[in-house]
């Protein structure tokens, strides 16, 4: 399923609200929530996470994996990320409301 950057950003920020998570955990949760329709590959997921971090919306740190193996990079929202999330939610709700008013609910 194709995903637009704005949709992916909103999804990732939402999943990080109130908790920190590592990249593959985020991808797994999105796949689960969408019944497999949204199956991100690393070439989409990590550049998006890095972009959000570069904007100051996320912070990350690397930790030893609880199961051993490679270290994991955990991401969490910053205060700026929380504000960006709210702005994106507001924009989404305006867009959805506009469509609903134009075409009605079905």
pLDDT at 102: 77
* Whole-model pTM over 0.85: no
- In tens, the pLDDT along 4-26 reads 556 899 999 999 999 999 999 99
Q: Pick one of 3.30.230.70, 2.40.430.10, 3.20.20.140, 1.10.10.10 as the CATH number of 5-103.
A: 1.10.10.10
Is residue 36's pLDDT more than 60? yes
Residue 78 burial by CB count (10 A; 0-12/13-18/19+): exposed, middle or buried?
A: middle
């Amino acid at each position: 399923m194709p995903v637009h950057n704005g949709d992916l950003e909103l999804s990732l920020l939402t999943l990080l609200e109130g908790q920190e998570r590592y990249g593959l955990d985020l991808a797994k949760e999105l796949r689960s929530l969408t019944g497999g329709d949204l199956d991100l590959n690393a070439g989409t997921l990590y550049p998006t996470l890095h972009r959000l971090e570069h904007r100051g919306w996320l912070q990350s740190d690397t930790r030893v994996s609880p199961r051993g193996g490679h270290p994991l990079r955990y991401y969490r929202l910053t205060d700026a990320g929380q504000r960006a999330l709210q702005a994106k939610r507001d924009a989404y709700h305006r867009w959805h409301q506009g469509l609903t008013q134009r075409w009605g609910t079905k």
